Structure 1
Amino acid sequence: MAEEIKLLVVDDEDRIRRLLRMYLEREDYVVDEADNGSDALELALTNNYDVILLDLMMPEMDGIEVCQELRKEKNTPVIMLTAKGEEANRVQGFEVGTDDYIVKPFSPREVVLRVKALLRRATASNYSEVDTQAKNILVFPHLTIDHDAHRVTAEGKEVNLTPKEYELLCFLAKTPDKVFNREQLLKEVWQYEFFGDLRTVDTHVKRLREKLNSASKEAAKMIVTVWGVGYKFEVETV
Structure 2
Amino acid sequence: MENLTQILVVDDDREIRTLLAEYLDGNGFRTFTASNGIDMRKVLDANRIDLVVLDLTLPGEDGLTLCRNLRAQSSLPVIMLTARGEPLDRILGLEMGADDYLAKPFEPRELFARIRSVLRRTNALPPNMATSEARAMLFGNWKLDLMARHLEAADGTVVALSGAEFRLLKVFLEHPNRVLNRDQLLEMTQGREADPFDRSVDIQISRLRQKLADDARTPLLIKTVRNEGYVLSTTVTVDSQR
TM-score range normalised by the length of the shorter chain: 0.7 to 0.9
| 1:147 correspondence with 2:161 | no
TM-score normalized by structure 2? 0.85
- The one-letter amino acid paired with 2:49 is Y
Aligned pair in 2 of structure 1 residues 43, 196: CA closer, same or farther (>3 Å)? farther
Name 1:92's counterpart in structure 2.
Answer: 92
Cα distance, 1:26 vs structure 2: 2.1
Name 1:226's counterpart in structure 2.
Answer: 225
Contact 1:23 1:108 in 2 (8 A): yes
- The one-letter amino acid paired with 2:85 is G
Contact 1:75 1:162 in 2 (8 A): yes
Aligned pair in 2 of structure 1 residues 210, 47: CA closer, same or farther (>3 Å)? farther
Name 1:8's counterpart in structure 2.
Answer: 8
Q: Secondary structure at the match of 2:73?
A: coil
- Unpaired segments of 5 or more residues in structure 2? 237-242
Cα separation, 2, equivalents of 1:191 and 1:124? 12
Name 2:30's counterpart in structure 1.
Answer: 30
| 1:105 correspondence with 2:77 | no
Q: Secondary structure at the match of 2:200?
A: helix
Aligned pair in 2 of structure 1 residues 42, 69: CA closer, same or farther (>3 Å)? farther
- Unpaired segments of 5 or more residues in structure 1? none
Name 1:116's counterpart in structure 2.
Answer: 116
- The one-letter amino acid paired with 1:230 is G
Cα separation, 1, equivalents of 2:157 and 2:227? 33
TM-score normalized by structure 1? 0.87
- The one-letter amino acid paired with 2:15 is R
Name 2:179's counterpart in structure 1.
Answer: 179
Q: Secondary structure at the match of 2:98?
A: coil
Aligned pair in 2 of structure 1 residues 183, 62: CA closer, same or farther (>3 Å)? same
Q: Secondary structure at the match of 1:213?
A: coil
- The one-letter amino acid paired with 1:72 is A
Q: Secondary structure at the match of 1:102?
A: strand
Contact 1:41 1:70 in 2 (8 A): no
Q: Secondary structure at the match of 2:49?
A: coil
Name 1:74's counterpart in structure 2.
Answer: 74
- The one-letter amino acid paired with 2:195 is F
Cα separation, 2, equivalents of 1:16 and 1:186? 29
Cα separation, 1, equivalents of 2:147 and 2:35? 36
Render the CA deviation track for 1:19-76: whole Å, top value 9, x for unaligned. Answer: 1111211233221111123322453466442110011112112211211222222221
Quote the sequence identity (%): 37
Aligned pair in 2 of structure 1 residues 159, 125: CA closer, same or farther (>3 Å)? farther
Name 2:136's counterpart in structure 1.
Answer: 137
Cα separation, 1, equivalents of 2:144 and 2:69? 26
Q: Secondary structure at the match of 2:31?
A: strand
Render the CA deviation track for 1:198-226: whole Å, top value 9, x for unaligned. Answer: 31011111111222229xx9xx8422222
Name 2:239's counterpart in structure 1.
Answer: none
> What root-mean-square deviation, in Å, do the aligned CA atoms of Structure 1 and Structure 2 show?
2.6
Q: Secondary structure at the match of 1:59?
A: coil
Cα distance, 1:136 vs structure 2: 4.6
Q: Secondary structure at the match of 1:32?
A: strand
Cα separation, 1, equivalents of 2:44 and 2:95? 19
Name 2:58's counterpart in structure 1.
Answer: 58
